[in-house]
Amino acid sequence: MATRLCSCTLPLLLLLLALKQSPLHASDTLTTNQQLSGNQKLISQDGSFALGFFQPAGSNGKWYIGIWYNKIPEQTSVWAANRETNDRNFVVLVNHSKSPIRSTNIKNNTAVSSTVAVLLNNGNLLVRHESNTSAVLWQSFDDITDTWLPGNKLSHNKKTGIVKRMTSWKDRGDPTPGMFSIGLDPKGSTQYVLLWNSSVVYWASGNWTGNSFIGVPELSPTNSYPNSGYTFQFVDNDEETYFTYTVKSDVQIFTRAIIDVSGLFQAFVWMEAAQAWVTFFTQPKAKCSVYGMCGESSMCSENAASSCSCLKGFTENNPNNWILNDNTAGCRRNVPLKCVNNSTVTKQDRFYLINNVKLPDSADIVNAANIHDCELICLSNCSCTAYSHNGTCLVWHDHLMNLQDSAGGSSDRIFIRLDASEIPNSGTKKWWIMCIIIGGFIILSLGITIVYFLYKRSRICSINQGDGPLISFKYSDLQFLTRNFSERLGAGSFGTVFKGVLPDTTTVAVKKLEGFRQGEKQFRAEVSTIGNIQHMNLIRLLGFCSEGAKRLLVYEYMPNGSLDKHLFDSGSVTLSWKIKHQISVGIAKGLAYLHEECRDCIIHCDIKPQNILLDASFIPKVADFGLAKLLGRDFSRVLTSMRGTIGYLAPEWISGEAITTKADVFSYGMMLFEIISGRRNLEHRETSMETFFPMLVARKLLEGEVPGLLVEGLINGADERELERACKVACWCVQGNESSRPTMGEIVKILEGVIDVDMPPVPRYLEVLAEGSENVKFFSYEATK
């Protein structure tokens, strides 16, 4: 352990060591009679953060002391001690000899015995007086490293001129200050700037307008991204200027902003479901605009899978860092140039041409009549590494920095100087070209063959996985995504639905199931089945949560809400007949898919307007499969307990008979009456229509007076033939004998006019309902038994 302590510098502000040995247990406070060693650590009161020894990936066995997230399995440091080389308030003790090898005094000559170090729940480490909590001598938030936590400030002190900025690590395994930093403009403007080597500005936020930064409107206090639990604040007063952000206390999330070793300023949120940090903000968005991100002798390509690549004849300086996406060390030559002195034009060096590039920085302009003279000028100087000629001769000496692939946006070209052995002769080059052409033809033929067989196999209904497997969310994830369930979309018998926003700005609907008594294993099995069902008229399930007694489902969001609002709410836009017909056919197609096309027949059991959602184009999506039961192909019926919604229940529900897909057909028919009329079937109010509407439809069909429905003004702009077909379908669907009802597949064909259907008899069930409210009460009572 002595070696470990000696190999890193420990701040007194973090490690208050005394000669007396006293073991440290899990605590947020370090006093003068305690020591921190080995795997011991301070832990904040709520357990969010820890302080102790850590070993970054790629550190080559070196240990550092710092602060990291304690509840996250992927070790993520937020602060590292003594990144600079100065000796500000530090003491290091050898564990066995107990003799200091370096020490200085805390400011104001404060007695060590009167101070304690406390790790707060926000990740800030305070050194303060033991008896006076307000007497803070030092805090890690004032010694910001590469990470910006909620509650901390990026500031400019107007009196002292000190700019508190974030500075990247040197590389992935070394917290020493790197080349990139972000802070308020040291020139005094109200904008934030990203700097390379504390001198070159490669991105600026634009000045503060009073509500947002010109170049970053999403970070305004009124438009907090991603419209969730964040609050941003910009303050400009006589003392200082600063920008800060906080997370609402009722939202349990971990979030951080960093200046990465690649020079990108990024913000992350921890997603429990993915067990990973998810990026929701990055600047600059064009990675290649980061100065020196790819280092020397490399090419930056904005649209390539890997942004940085070494030039021909060069190899990564630090391959391990490149694997960790840290390219700032750049590339080195494979073969040194043969140039001996500046007076001799050597034939050992040649030039490699790269077309369509944005030229590197720091070029020198020289006089040359043509491109040949420009080449000779470069060859005559051993420090010349490249040249370009486009009417003007440009040469580069020693370093090539910020060479970019313009992806066709520029006609500039550059000649890179290499040893002759790095450039193959023309014969070899032609041979390689032929190999590439032949190989490409073989790969293309193979690809076409594979695509053909994949297409043949893709016509399997129920194995379609959509956009990927279901996501198993943690409850805390859904709290964050829904802003602690603050925006309610609607509620039903089995739960309430809330609006949520994923980190990629995708809007979702989160349903909290209430009174759900299924065990976790059964719940996951049914959810898995639902997740594998993919059809344009069925709502898509994206994920779920099963945590303790909590059961939640995450669906795609439907901007036009549920069908019942558009049919029954007076404030909603009246649906045209064209839209109503589209909705009727779409619902039928969705149910036909469930009943007839999937590997396992699925009965929905609760078809009603509240369970039909509409997308932006009013395409219907059948939703809420919470009541669905699976039927194997070898079984035609299944007994189930009484469920469903009054007004849509088939007679067999009430009589206790076995339920088949024809129960859904009955419910669809009752709903179709409501789609046609725009009013509830069991609604009791004073209107000009004295007859129960489904019964009115049945009678007018028999009398051949369907156009009379149009006279009543119930159907605006209706096609008379489509209306008659819909009325016939509704009446056939609600026949008391289930064998008389059509299948959903037949209903689709009838509504689309593919097949015709006979005139239906007046359903006995409608006659009973039409006789009066007492019968309605009877059916309601029986249905709830």
CA dihedral 563, 567, 568, 572 (to 10 degrees): 90
Taking alpha carbons only, the member of 143, 130, 17, 15 closest to residue 78 is 143
Query: How far is residue 584 from each of residues 566, 619, 696, measured CA to CA in Å?
Result: 14, 10, 20
Residue 2 near residue 95 (C-beta atoms within 8 A) = yes
How far apart (Å, rounded) are the C-alpha atoms in residues 176 and 179?
A: 10
Q: Known binder of ligand: residue 700?
A: no
Which sign, positive or negative, has the C-alpha torsion 517, 520, 523, 525? negative
**If residue 671 lies in a helix (H) or strand (E), which one and from where to where?**
helix 662-677
Catalytic residue among 185, 564, 606, 624: 606
Tokens of 30: 């370090």
Query: How far is residue 375 from each of residues 314, 368, 379, 386, 417, measured CA to CA in Å?
Result: 21, 9, 6, 9, 10
Q: Which residues of 31-48 are buried (b: 16+ CB within 10 A; e: fewer)?
A: bbebbbbeebbbbbeeeb
Query: How far is residue 286 from each of residues 172, 256, 300, 476, 478, measured CA to CA in Å?
Result: 22, 21, 11, 33, 31
Query: How far is residue 128 from each of residues 10, 106, 133, 481, 570, measured CA to CA in Å?
Result: 18, 11, 6, 37, 64
Residue 606 a catalytic site member: yes
How far apart (Å, rounded) are the C-alpha atoms in residues 343 and 380?
A: 6
Residue 617 near residue 757 (C-beta atoms within 8 A) = no
Residue 553 CA from chain centroid, whole number = 18
The amino acid sitting at 426 is S
Residue 636 CA from chain centroid, whole number = 43
Residue 186 backbone zone (phi > 0: left; psi -120 to 50: alpha; other: beta): alpha
How far apart (Å, rounded) are the C-alpha atoms in residues 373 and 363?
A: 17
In the 3-class helix/strand/coil scheme, how is 687-718 assigned residue by residue?
A: CCCCCCHHHHHHHHHHHCCCHHHHHCCCCCCC
Tokens of 514: 């209430």
Contacts of 247 (CB under 8 A, 6+ apart): 150, 229, 230, 231, 253, 255
How far apart (Å, rounded) are the C-alpha atoms in residues 489 and 270?
A: 26
Respond yes or no on whether the N-terminal peptide bond of residue 284 is cis (omega within 30° of 0).
yes
Tokens of 726: 């819909």
Tokens of 545: 């949560």
How far apart (Å, rounded) are the C-alpha atoms in residues 577 and 333?
A: 73
3-state class of 371 per DSSP?
helix
How far apart (Å, rounded) are the C-alpha atoms in residues 325 and 21?
A: 43
| Catalytic residue ranges | 606
Binding-site residues: 512
Binding-site residues for ATP: 512
